Amino acid sequence: MIKFIFDEDLPVISHGHGVFVYDTNGRAYLDACSGAAAVNLGHGDPQVLKAMSDQAERITFANRGAFHNEPSERLADRLSALTGYPYVFLCNSGSEAVETALRLTLQYWQECGQPQRSHFLSHAVSYHGATLGGLSLSGHPQRRRVAKALLHGFNELIPPYAYRFAQGRDDVAFSSSLLDDASRTLDAYGAGAAGVVVEPVGGAAGGAITPPDGYLPGLAALCRERDVPLIADEIMCGIGRTGTMLASEHWSIRPDMVVVGKGLGAGYAPVSAVLISRNIIDTIAAGTASVTGGHTYGCNPLGSAVALAALDAIESRGLVDAAAERGSQLRAGLEDLRQRHDVIGEVRGLGLLQGLELVSDRETRNPGDPIGSLTHTLIASARDQGLLLYPVTGGINDAVLVAPPLVTSAEEIDLLLRRLDAALTAMRRTSRCRT
């Protein structure tokens, strides 16, 4: 038995169908967090399974150093056509893709004759991956802890997290104070600043942190003025989840690189990608070294075929628009639950990436005591009601993500909300906290 940090009593999964998964005792759960915000098409999608088995029968692996392969070439072209980024680097996990974006940025600066630019900046509440570069960017105390001897402290920017950092300022004033801070920090690093990495809508740290409207365009402008690349980590919020193909589109920003994963393979295969702008790639291409540092399974035909089928499904079924529409329904329902359950301090997010901030007291906005206890109680209570939520723990707050698959029907959203209501009610009965 593999020992994880998670709950010892986790059920054992048996199978899945649509937005439901089943354990080996036959219990059904509505998967309101798409596994880990990845299973955007639900389980058992026939179109994806067919593409997967067709590709598996042909070939599953090709050594990138020896062959191009058609599915990966087509996937790169498809992602370029969908997003307008001319170059695509394919990896497997989100963390690998974040590392790749960091490495490409360092290579870009070396080709620009400024190799001293090696310091990245990211938000103090953020998650960018479990590898050392990703963790160096991450504002997530628990996940940083064991690796801290090898980490950089890139996570310096004040997060665009109004509920805990605005201190009563409205969105405009908060946004401008964040930009003042970012501008000062960038200037402090001066010619050492390599890049800024942001989650347009946050995920695993904080829980669906959604910046005030002026912030990301302002940050993009600060980066442009200083010629510092802006990298959007859209591993959780990209590929349609927030109601636009890329979450950056909500603010009409065009980062120099965008990292996508999770929903790209929709949970059917590990596949991720770095989308790279012309400026970065042309500088690298004109330089002294080729792009290095791929991974054994990067560009594997099976993962690429799955991602192509997932993108086909998203486009042909209009799932980006569906995420916006179902997202509005979900948001309205969550706001309604907030009216009736004091434990919900705030509802935030975009499309089908919604977060509930949990508090022990609405006035003081205190999280659980200890921090994490409210999250764990709600996760367990929801599981008892046949509902899976994504826990946000290990940081400064208590929160859960509600991020169901993009294929969730209106009736299934209603069912999700009813089960969540029941879970919140049961939590009030069983815990001492005032909910």
Contact residues toward ligand PMP (CB under 6 A) are 93-95, 98, 127-130, 199, 203-204, 233, 235-236, 261
**Given the complex with ligand PMP, which of 93 and 175 has the nearer CB atom?**
93
**Given the complex with ligand PMP, which of 143 and 338 has the nearer CB atom?**
143
Minimal distance in Å, beta carbon 145 to ligand PMP? 17
Minimal distance in Å, beta carbon 391 to ligand PMP? 12
C-alpha to C-alpha distance for 227 and 239, rounded to whole angstroms = 27
Sign of torsion over alpha carbons 372, 374, 380, 385: negative
Minimal distance in Å, beta carbon 191 to ligand PMP? 28
Element (H, E) at 401: strand 398-402
Amino acid type, 340:
R
CB 92 within 8 A of CB 270: yes
CB 92 within 8 A of CB 272: yes
Minimal distance in Å, beta carbon 235 to ligand PMP? 4
Minimal distance in Å, beta carbon 197 to ligand PMP? 9
C-alpha to C-alpha distance for 390 and 396, rounded to whole angstroms = 16
Minimal distance in Å, beta carbon 415 to ligand PMP? 26
**Given the complex with ligand PMP, which of 39 and 343 has the nearer CB atom?**
39
Minimal distance in Å, beta carbon 85 to ligand PMP? 18
Q: What residue spans of 265-387 are helical by DSSP H?
A: 278-285, 301-316, 319-340, 373-384
347 DSSP β-pair partners: 356
257 DSSP β-pair partners: 231, 276
**Given the complex with ligand PMP, which of 197 and 424 has the nearer CB atom?**
197
Strand, coil or helix: 138: coil
**Given the complex with ligand PMP, which of 400 and 433 has the nearer CB atom?**
400
Minimal distance in Å, beta carbon 219 to ligand PMP? 16
Sheet of 398-402: strands edge to edge?
344-350, 353-358, 398-402, 390-392
Minimal distance in Å, beta carbon 123 to ligand PMP? 11
C-alpha to C-alpha distance for 307 and 318, rounded to whole angstroms = 16
**Given the complex with ligand PMP, which of 111 and 256 has the nearer CB atom?**
256
Minimal distance in Å, beta carbon 137 to ligand PMP? 9
**Given the complex with ligand PMP, which of 55 and 100 has the nearer CB atom?**
100
Up-side HSE of residue 119: CA atoms within 13 Å toward CB?
Answer: 15
**Given the complex with ligand PMP, which of 38 and 427 has the nearer CB atom?**
38
**Given the complex with ligand PMP, which of 261 and 345 has the nearer CB atom?**
261
Residue nearest ligand PMP by beta-carbon distance: 94
**Given the complex with ligand PMP, which of 95 and 408 has the nearer CB atom?**
95
CB 348 within 8 A of CB 210: yes
C-alpha to C-alpha distance for 128 and 273, rounded to whole angstroms = 14
CB 85 within 8 A of CB 276: yes
| Nearest of 355, 102, 345 to residue 205 by alpha carbon | 355
Sheet of 119-121: strands edge to edge?
87-91, 272-276, 257-260, 230-233, 193-198, 119-121
**Given the complex with ligand PMP, which of 199 and 346 has the nearer CB atom?**
199
Neighbours of 48 (CB within 10 A): 25
Minimal distance in Å, beta carbon 306 to ligand PMP? 15
C-alpha to C-alpha distance for 151 and 124, rounded to whole angstroms = 14
Minimal distance in Å, beta carbon 392 to ligand PMP? 11
CB 257 within 8 A of CB 334: no
**Given the complex with ligand PMP, which of 122 and 435 has the nearer CB atom?**
122
Q: Give, in order, the Cα–Cα distances in Å from 380 to each of 196, 281, 284, 389, 426.
A: 37, 47, 49, 9, 10
